[in-house]
Amino acid sequence: MTEQLETAEFTDTLQFRLGRKIADGGMGSVYEATISGSEGFEKIVALKTIREKFTGDRDFVELFIGEAKLVANLVHQNIVQIYKLGKWGKAFYIAMEYVNGVNLQQFMNRHLELGIKVPVELGVFILSRICRGLEYAHSKKDAFGNSLSVVHRDVSPKNLIISAEGEVKITDFGIAKARNLMKDQEGQVLMGKAQYMSPEQAQYLPTDRRSDIFSLGLVSYELLTGEPVFGSTEDTTIILDNVARKIIPEPRNLNPDVPEPVQKILMKALERSLDKRYQDAGKMGYDLEYFMYHKGYGPTIVTLEKYMRNLFSDLYQSPMKETYPSVKPLPTADGDGSITAKDD
């Protein structure tokens, strides 16, 4: 068999058993699923699906496929990994890393519920890990050494995850752009969540890595002050006007615990001028890490894990599957809550 594997292609099948619904959106859903293999092998993954009514929308399907192709090559501890792009019936799905945790929006909401601020050093640690993931994605090259020019274009709290183990990960590259890998409608339609857009996105202008840095600046500001920079209104017109014109108050006006060096980092990330903004996420991450560690000690993933245990004790219940009720699985050809997918 070893000799056969070295010299020939082979076909295998994957069996997915669907569990609870993790997330539900207008375009699709994400399920917890278990992959079954030979000799009792099992692995929990997340299964991202497209709603049936969008399977005929070629533009949307191409974005979905483009995300899978792009992220399959982004292998980094601060980016959610993708394992497989598959199809059953007319519907595509993406099998990806399952992260037992919460998104940053849920993390911030819990602090609002408790009436407390996110500890500054812990918030800075979270942001520094996001910088690491973005810098890796932004710097990614193809097999020939050419830059892929990846831009996420949707850096927002719901697309940033903190795991129960204290790891921080970027997810949902669904509207990212990358040379030759993603269908791009830049300049034609708004890409991203208005509340976390860069000025160039809001004006339908071309984006590059610095657009992601501005968006991360908005996330950083909200994480450390508890207040979104451009308000909480759902009126897109007002938000876009704020993105273009609103004077951004210094973070210390809202949270005096934010040190001057951190405020300086945030305000540089939020420069409307591209030339004055951080030019890459690596430099922003370096400045954040210097603030944390220049005295020799600072937070780690262990620190964040311990903090998460206090905030979200339900994440640590065992066994994990009993923490949440199961949901009715998607209808499948097998009719028993399982999907059989053939590897091509």
Written as six digits, the tokens of 287 are: 């400045």
Catalytic site residues?
A: 154
